[in-house]
């Protein structure tokens, strides 16, 4: 097994167990959500992605985001975010946004 695949599997399993412990997901739900988060993370680095997530107030949010260097403005410093948050550059608003990884619904 290649090291990148091994690292991805490790990341998925750690994220899934986190969803089970902190959010009360079943292992099946947690694995589906963890794989979707990994796919989103990879896609954000390559292109602008349309995805949906549940906001903390319970409403559904459609987002168009990217982490592509050519679309993201230069940042002056870095800010540490929580491990359970996915950060992305919102191409519609032109600003940085984040959401809880456990709230990812769908990648379009």
Q: Are 33 and 102 within 8 A, CB to CB? A: yes
pLDDT, residue 12, reads 96
Mean pLDDT of 73-84: 83
Is the pLDDT at 105 greater than 90? The verdict is: yes
Question: Sign of the CA dihedral 60, 87, 73, 4?
Answer: negative
8-state DSSP, 49: E
Higher pLDDT residue, 77 or 11? 11
| Per-residue pLDDT tens over the stretch 42-75 | 999 999 999 999 999 999 999 999 999 999 888 8
- Angle (CA) 10-66-43 rounded to 5° is 45
* Cα 24 from Cα 81, distance rounded (Å): 23
pLDDT, residue 63, reads 97
* Cα 64 from Cα 73, distance rounded (Å): 16
How many domains is the chain built from?
1
pLDDT category of residue 1 using cuts at 50, 70 and 90? low
Pairing of strands 85-90, 60-66: antiparallel
Nearest to 7 by CA among 38, 43, 47, 53: 38
Q: What is the pTM of this model?
A: 0.90
Rounded alpha-carbon distances, angstroms, from residue 100 to 15, 82, 89? 12, 9, 15
For residue 100, the enclosing domain spans 2-107
């Amino acid at each position: 097994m290649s090291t990148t695949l091994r690292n991805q599997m490790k990341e998925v399993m750690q994220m899934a167990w986190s969803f089970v412990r902190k959010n009360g997901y079943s292992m099946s739900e947690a694995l589906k959500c963890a794989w979707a988060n990994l796919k989103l993370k990879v896609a954000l680095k390559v292109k602008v992605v349309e995805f949906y997530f549940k906001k903390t107030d319970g409403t559904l949010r459609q987002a168009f985001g990217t982490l592509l260097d050519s679309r993201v403005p230069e940042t002056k410093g870095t800010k540490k975010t929580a491990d359970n948050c996915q950060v992305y550059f919102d191409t519609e608003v032109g600003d940085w946004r984040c959401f809880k990884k456990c709230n990812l619904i769908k990648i379009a």
